[in-house]
Structure 1
Amino acid sequence: MRRLALLLCGLTTLVTAPAVGAQAPTPADSARLATYERREVMIPMRDGVKLHTFVFTPKDQQGALPFILTRTPYGIGGAAGNFITSYAEMADERYIFVFQDIRGRFDSEGQFVMLRSPRDRKDSKAIDESTDTWDTIDWLLANVPRNNGRVGQLGVSYPGWLTVMSMLDPHPALKAVSPQASPASMFIGDDFHHNGAFRLAYGFEYVAMMESGKGMNRFAFDKVDNYSWHLENGPLSNIDRKYFKGERPTWNDFVAHPNFDAFWKREALAQYLDRVNVPTLNVGGWWDQEDFYGPLTIYQELEKHDTKGINYLVVGPWNHGGWRGRSGQTLGNIDFGSETAPYFRRTIEAPWFAYWLKDKGSLSLAEATTFESGTNEWRRHEAWPPKQNVGARRLYFHAEGKLAFEPPPARDPKPYDSYVSDPAKPVPYRARPILATFGPGSTWSQWLADDQRFVQDRPDVVAWETPALDHDVTIAGDIVARLMAATTGTDADWVVKLIDVYPEDHPKLGGYQFMVANEVLRGRFRDSYEHPKAIAPGKVTEFKVGLHTQNYRFQKGHKIRVQIQSSWFPLIDRNPQTFVPNIFKASASDYRAATQRIYRSPTLSSYLQLSIVTPNPIVP
C-alpha cells in the first residue's frame, strides 16, 4: 500500500502545520519559541521498532502539564515552526508538545504502510496506528517528568487521519482528540476521486513527485498551461507508456482499481467509526480543495454513536488547513471580514483542549459551530445539518436560463436545455493558463474561490439564474442536485456548481461569480460505486449529485446561479462518453462528442434542493 503517500496532506501543508516557512516570525513568535526546550528521543514500540520523536517542554514549567501529541508521515524536522502560528495559542497556554515520525518514515524505524488498516485484535502481536499511539503515550507518561497524566492529539490531513485511528482504541490517558481535514474515502469524496471521477492533475503530479526518488521531485512540465499539456497526452492509457513505464506503484493501483472495490473499501473510514470513546473536535473548511468530504463524514458517522454528547464540529471559511495559518480572513478575492484562523484557535480550539486536559473553564461550545459566509458570522447549532428552523426548498430550472423556487410551467415546446460535450475541447476548471498544481507560483490552494465568469459564454456550459434577490436567502445544511438528463453517449460526467453572483455595482467584486458549492458525478456510478453501468443513449435518466453541505447567505441584490457542464479539465480526467470497463485503459477512439440534455418540465424536472433557514423570504 505504497499508493497514497503524500496525498492526505495535499502537498499544501507542511509536516504538522501550514506553510509556516513562508511566514516571517514576529518578535512574539521568536519569544514564544525561546520558552520551550526540545528533547529528541527514540520511543520503543511493543514489537521493538523505535519511533523518532521530539518533546518540547516549557522552560518555565511550574506544575504538571498535559501533552499535545501530533503524529505525521511527513517528517518532524520543522516541528518548531508550529510555535510560530499553528499552535501559537496553545503554546502560550503551556503544554508539553510531542511530534513523532510514524513508523517507516524519516528517522523512525520499521515499515511504512499507507493508511494502515486497524489490526486484528485476535492477534496479540499485531500492530497498527492505534497501538503505536498507545505505546507512545505509555512511554511519555513514564519518561517525561511533571506531566499530569492526560494527552490530547490533533493533526491536519494525514495527521488528522492518524488522530482518528488513535481514538478508535484509545489509551486511557488520551482525553481529547481533534481530527482536522482528515480524509474519509479516497474514492467517494477525498483527494484522488470524487464520486468515482479521477482527479487527474492532482493524481498525476503526486505520482511523479513522490515516486521518482526519495526527494520531492516535481514533474518538469514543458508547457506553462497544464490544460494544454494534459490534453495533448491523449487518453489516460498513454500516461504510463509515456512517463511512468509501469514503475509507479500508485499509478498502477489507479489503473488496476477503477471502481470501488476491496482496495478502496479497505481505507474508507466509515466502517471503523462505530464508537465515540474520546471527546472529539472535528474541523473542516468550506473551501477545502482536498478533503472537505472527510471531516463532515467523520463527524456524521461518529454522531450515530455519540451517546455522551462529546462529538463536536467546527467548519470555517477555509481552504485545506487554512485555520492553522496567520489570518484566515481572505481566500483569493473573497474577504470574510475578520481573521478567522486565530479566532478559531483562540476562542474554540485552545479553550476546548484546556477544558478536557486541564479542567480549565467551562465548556460552552455548541455541538456544531459554523461560519456563515455572506453575513461573515459564526453560528451555533445543536446538530449539523441543523434540525430546527431549516426547511428543504427546491430551486427549479426554467426556460430561458431562469431559476426559481416554483416548478416549471406545464406548457413548454422545448422542455430541456442542451449542449454538446466534446472530449477534444473539455471545459477548463480554471482560467487558462492553468499552472501546475504544485509547481512554482501555484494558486491551487485558492482555486475554489475563483471567479466563474471565465466559462459562462462557452456553448458546452449551461446555467440558470434567479433575478436579483429582494431578500437575503440563507442556506444551512445539505445541497443536492437532481438532474433529469439524457445523453447520446453511454457515459457522462455531470459537474454542478452553486454560485453567488455579486451585483454589478459591487465596489470591489462587480459581477463576480463566487462558487459556493460544487461536485462532479461520473454517470456510470449513478447507482453503485462498486458496479458501474452504461447509460442508455437518449433515455431520460435521474442523476443525483450531492454538493455536500454549506452555511451561506445570498444577500439581497445578489443572484443565485446554478451551472452544469460535463467536463472539468484537468482537475477531472476526461470521460470518453463511451462506456468502457476501465477509463484508464480507454483508447483515443473511445473519446466521442455527445449531446447532453437537461430536462425541466413538470414531470421531468431538474432542480437544486437547498436547506433554507426559516423564516426566510423566498425569491418571487
Structure 2
Amino acid sequence: MQRKLQLAAVAFACLISAIPAHPQARTGDAATIARRNAIEQELESIATIERKVMVPMRDGKRMQADIYRPKDESKKYPVIFSRTPYNFNYWDIALGAPRDMTAALDAVKHGYAYIEMNERGRYFSEGDYDILGVPLTDSDDEFDWMTALPWSTGKVGLIGCSSTAEWQLNVASRGNKALATIIPESYGAGVGRVGPYYEQGNWFRGGAVQMLFATWLYDAGLQTNEAKPNFPPNTSQQALVEAAKWWDLNAHPPMVDWTKALAHLPEKDLLAAVGAPKGIYADNTPSGQRGMIERTPNDPAWYKGGLWNDSMHINVPGLWMMTWYDVSVAPNLAAYNFVRSTASPEVANEQYAIIAPVPHCSYKRAQEHTIVGERDLGDARLDYDALTFGWFDHFLKGEDNGLLAKTPKVRYYTMGLSKWQSSDTWPPKEAKPVTFYLTSTGRANSLAGDGTLATAAQPKDAADKFLYDPMNPVPTRGGGFCCMGADLKPGAVDQRPLEARDDVLVYSTSPLSEGMEVTGTVDVTLYVSSDAKDTDFTVKLIDVLPDGTAYNIDENIQRARYREGYNQPPVWMEKDKVYKITFQPMQTSNYFAPGDELRVEISSSNFPRYDRNLNTGGNNYDETKGVVAHNQVHHSTQYPSTITLSVVKH
C-alpha cells in the first residue's frame, strides 16, 4: 500500500509539473509581481525555508506547515505562529507570482522563526474541518512539536486576524507552557459567550442570525477531503509545493450573486441552493453536533467546539486589536475586560487594547484620509509593526524595551475628532451616562415624521406604528460586518435613502449647540408591542451632519423571543401587549460636532446583515413563508423608550 501511495504521489507530481510556471497574470499587476518576487528573493537570501512540512497530531492526522527561520544556526529562535483556515500556499496561480511573504520576511528580519499552518481539514491539512480548528488538542500537539525543534527557544507567540485570530482565545485558556503571548486581531468570531453577549462566534446578534457566515462557509464547505490528494510522509517538498498550484487551479468555488442567494428560503437550504456540498452550516459537524443554522443562542453544541466563553480563564499577556466597523466590537471589548478582571494581577496588567476606525482586519489600510464606507475619518494610521514586534521582543525575547510603560492600556480612535486617544480602562472613567428619550405624536415614520430625541419622556403614550413585511425588509446599508459579497460594503454610509421608508422610525435631536463626544457603552431600551408571536426590532445610532448626511455609527438587533434571556426558553408575544426590550450594549467613540444632530433609527429588519424574522414563532430557519407584523414602539413616562450614551466632557 505504501508503495502504491508513493507511486500515486509521483504520478500526481508529474501531472501538475505541466502547469506553466507563470500563468496568465491579472492585467495591470506587473508592479505587484515585481514586488512579490523581490520579497521572495530577499526571504530566500536570509531564511531557511521549509514548505509543506506535514506535522503529525496525536490521532495520526497531519497538518501542513511552512517554516521560515534565520539562516544563522548558532542561535535559537522564538516562534511567531499563525494558524489559519485561509490559503497561504506558496504560489498565487492567478497572479503568476509567489504569494505575499511580507509577514514571514519581517519576522525573520526581527530574529524570529515564522510558522504558518493550516487548520485541520483546510487545504492540505488532513482530517475533517470544523470551525476554529477543533479538536483543541491539535494546538497542544502543534506547540509541543514547535518547542521540540532543535533551533527553537521553546517560546511561542500567536498573531493573526479574523479566523487566524479567533482560535487563539480558546487555546490561550488551555495554559500550554509554550504559549507566551497572543495578538488577536478582529477576533470576534472566536468569542462564544461573554457577559450579556451570546453571539456564539458572531453567529448571532440579539438572537438573530448574522448572515455573513453563509458566504464565509460557502468557501469552507467546498474544501472536502475528497477534493485533495493525500501525500505519503516521504513525498518530496517540491511535489507538495507544486500541489499548491494544483489547489489554486482546481478548488476555487464558482462565483455567487449573494444579493440574490442570501434571500433564499428556507434559510437552512441557502448554501445547497448555490451548489455547495454538505457542510457544518446545515449538517452535523465532524464532532457530531447539529448544523450551526439549527442551533439556538445557548445550544449545548456551541460549548463543545472551538469557541471561547467566560467560563474559561485566560492567563496569557495579550495585545487585543479591534475596529469600530467590525462584526462585533462590543463582545470583543467585553472579552478584553473579562480577561483583565480575571487573570492573575501580573498578567491582568499585561492586557492592552487598540480600537481602530476601520472595517474588519483593515488596520494597515488606514491612510492620511481614511475613507470608511463614504466617510473621511482622517489620519488613522498607526505603526502596527513597531508595536507588534516591540511586543514580541518583550514577551518572546525578554527584552526590557520599555514598550509597556509607554503604551496606554486602551488606545482608541475617536471618529469625528479624527484622532487617537487613550485611557486606562474601557469605557474611560470620565465617561458619564446621558439619556435621551424617544418622543413623537405617533408619526415618527420616515425622515418626514415628527420623531425627536428629548431630555425627558413625554407624559402620555403616542405609539409609533409601522408594518414589517419580511418579504420587503429594510436593506442593509453600511455598518459593521465583513464577508458579505462585493455588493455590500461596510462602514459609514448615508442612511437617508432608508429613512424615506415608512417602516423606519426616525428620532433626532435639534442641531447640537455644543459638541458631544460619545465614547463607551451605548444602551437602548424600547417598549414595544406587535400582533405577531415573534418579531425583531433594530436600532441604529446616526451622526447627522449639518448638510443632512446621516452616517451610521453602530447598529443592533433584538429578537423578541429572547427578551427574557438567551439561557431561557423562548417567550412569545401576545397581541398588543407592551413588552420591554433591552438591547445588548453597543460600543463606539464618535464626536458629534456643534451643528450635528444625534439620531436613532428603529425598525424590524436590516437584511441581509441579519436574517429576517418570519414572525411566525416557528424555527425560522426551516420556513418558507412569513407573516406581516404590525409593530409599535411606545414612549412615555410609563413606557420610557431610551438611548443612554457614554459622554466625555470636553
Q: TM-score, normalised by structure 1?
A: 0.80
1: CA distance, partners of 2:30 / 2:317: 33
Q: Which residue of 2 aligns with 1:167?
A: 172
Q: Which residue of 1 aligns with 2:393?
A: 354
2: CA distance, partners of 1:584 / 1:499: 31
Q: Which residue of 2 aligns with 1:12?
A: none
Q: Which residue of 1 aligns with 2:411?
A: 369
Q: Which residue of 1 aligns with 2:538?
A: 495
Q: Which residue of 2 aligns with 1:507?
A: none
2: CA distance, partners of 1:443 / 1:95: 40
Shift of 1:327: 4.5
1:99 aligned onto 2:116: yes
Q: Which residue of 2 aligns with 1:24?
A: 32
CA distance 1:311–1:463, shift in 2 (3 Å): same
1: CA distance, partners of 2:62 / 2:216: 29
Alignment match of 1:532 (pick from 566, 570, 575): 570
Q: Which residue of 2 aligns with 1:298?
A: 335
CA distance 1:557–1:162, shift in 2 (3 Å): same
1: CA distance, partners of 2:635 / 2:484: 40
2: CA distance, partners of 1:479 / 1:78: 45
User: Are the counterparts in 2 of residues 46 and 135 from structure 1 also a CA contact under 8 Å?
Assistant: no
Q: Which residue of 2 aligns with 1:132?
A: 141
Tell me the alpha carbon deviations over residues 9-38 of structure 1, each in whole angstroms, 9 at most, x when there is no partner. xxxxxxxxxxxx999378697376455432
- SS of 1:318's partner is strand
- SS of 1:449's partner is coil
1:548 aligned onto 2:586: yes
Q: Which residue of 2 aligns with 1:13?
A: none
CA distance 1:138–1:576, shift in 2 (3 Å): same
Shift of 1:491: 1.0
- 1:168-567 matches, cutoff 5 A: 168-182=173-187, 183=189, 184-185=191-192, 188=199, 190-200=201-211, 202-212=212-222, 214=227, 215-218=251-254, 220-221=256-257, 226=259, 231=263, 233-236=264-267, 239=270, 247-252=278-283, 253-267=291-305, 268-276=307-315, 278-288=316-326, 290-306=327-343, 307-308=345-346, 309-325=349-365, 327=367, 329-340=370-381, 343-358=382-397, 359-362=399-402, 363=404, 364-386=406-428, 388-399=429-440, 401-404=450-453, 406-410=455-459, 412=460, 415-430=462-477, 439=485, 442-444=486-488, 446-504=489-547, 511-530=548-567, 531-567=569-605
1: CA distance, partners of 2:132 / 2:181: 22
CA distance 1:612–1:62, shift in 2 (3 Å): farther
Shift of 1:500: 0.8
User: Are the counterparts in 2 of residues 518 and 547 from structure 1 also a CA contact under 8 Å?
Assistant: no
Q: 5+ unaligned residues in a row in structure 1: which ranges?
A: 1-20, 120-127, 505-510
Larger radius of gyration: 2
Shift of 1:148: 4.6
For 2:416, the aligned partner's letter is: G
Q: Which residue of 1 aligns with 2:155?
A: 150
User: Are the counterparts in 1 of residues 433 and 647 from structure 2 also a CA contact under 8 Å?
Assistant: yes
Tell me the alpha carbon deviations over residues 441-471 of structure 1, each in whole angstroms, 9 at most, x when there is no partner. x154x42322211201100000111111121
1: CA distance, partners of 2:520 / 2:586: 8
For 1:24, the aligned partner's letter is: T
CA distance 1:66–1:553, shift in 2 (3 Å): same
Q: Which residue of 1 aligns with 2:55?
A: 43
Q: TM-score, normalised by structure 2?
A: 0.77
User: Are the counterparts in 1 of residues 183 and 320 from structure 2 also a CA contact under 8 Å?
Assistant: yes
2: CA distance, partners of 1:291 / 1:460: 26
User: Are the counterparts in 1 of residues 218 and 271 from structure 2 also a CA contact under 8 Å?
Assistant: no
Q: Which residue of 2 aligns with 1:3?
A: none
User: Are the counterparts in 2 of residues 497 and 518 from structure 1 also a CA contact under 8 Å?
Assistant: yes
Tell me the alpha carbon deviations over residues 323-380 of structure 1, each in whole angstroms, 9 at most, x when there is no partner. 154749332222222252xx24145323222222230510222222111111121122
Q: 5+ unaligned residues in a row in structure 2: which ranges?
A: 1-28, 92-97, 228-250, 284-290, 441-448
User: Are the counterparts in 2 of residues 72 and 100 from structure 1 also a CA contact under 8 Å?
Assistant: yes
For 2:588, the aligned partner's letter is: Q
User: Are the counterparts in 1 of residues 68 and 104 from structure 2 also a CA contact under 8 Å?
Assistant: no
Shift of 1:563: 0.4
1:598 aligned onto 2:633: yes
CA distance 1:336–1:452, shift in 2 (3 Å): same
1: CA distance, partners of 2:270 / 2:60: 42
Tell me the alpha carbon deviations over residues 379-415 of structure 1, each in whole angstroms, 9 at most, x when there is no partner. 22111122x21111112112264544511232x4x52
Shift of 1:242: 5.4
Shift of 1:161: 2.2
User: Are the counterparts in 1 of residues 366 and 379 from structure 2 also a CA contact under 8 Å?
Assistant: no
- 1:114-133 matches, cutoff 5 A: 114-115=131-132, 128-133=137-142
Shift of 1:534: 0.7
User: Are the counterparts in 1 of residues 453 and 599 from structure 2 also a CA contact under 8 Å?
Assistant: no
User: Are the counterparts in 2 of residues 477 and 551 from structure 1 also a CA contact under 8 Å?
Assistant: yes
1: CA distance, partners of 2:373 / 2:30: 17
Shift of 1:565: 0.8
Shift of 1:48: 4.5
- SS of 2:510's partner is coil
CA distance 1:218–1:466, shift in 2 (3 Å): farther
Q: Which residue of 1 aligns with 2:125?
A: 108
Q: What's the % identity of the aligned pairs? A: 22
Shift of 1:97: 1.3
User: Are the counterparts in 2 of residues 205 and 218 from structure 1 also a CA contact under 8 Å?
Assistant: no
User: Are the counterparts in 2 of residues 157 and 291 from structure 1 also a CA contact under 8 Å?
Assistant: no
2: CA distance, partners of 1:83 / 1:546: 40
User: Are the counterparts in 1 of residues 533 and 572 from structure 2 also a CA contact under 8 Å?
Assistant: yes
CA RMSD of aligned residues (A): 3.3
Report which stretch shifted further, 324-333 or 599-608: 324-333
Tell me the alpha carbon deviations over residues 73-110 of structure 1, each in whole angstroms, 9 at most, x when there is no partner. 224315975543x6776565342211112333323344
2: CA distance, partners of 1:529 / 1:549: 21
Shift of 1:272: 4.6
For 2:544, the aligned partner's letter is: V
Equivalent pairs, count: 553
- SS of 1:419's partner is strand
Report which stretch shifted further, 104-113 or 560-569: 104-113
User: Are the counterparts in 1 of residues 507 and 601 from structure 2 also a CA contact under 8 Å?
Assistant: yes
CA distance 1:437–1:112, shift in 2 (3 Å): closer
1: CA distance, partners of 2:106 / 2:535: 48
1: CA distance, partners of 2:594 / 2:632: 32
Q: Which residue of 2 aligns with 1:7?
A: none
User: Are the counterparts in 1 of residues 146 and 154 from structure 2 also a CA contact under 8 Å?
Assistant: no
User: Are the counterparts in 2 of residues 185 and 294 from structure 1 also a CA contact under 8 Å?
Assistant: no
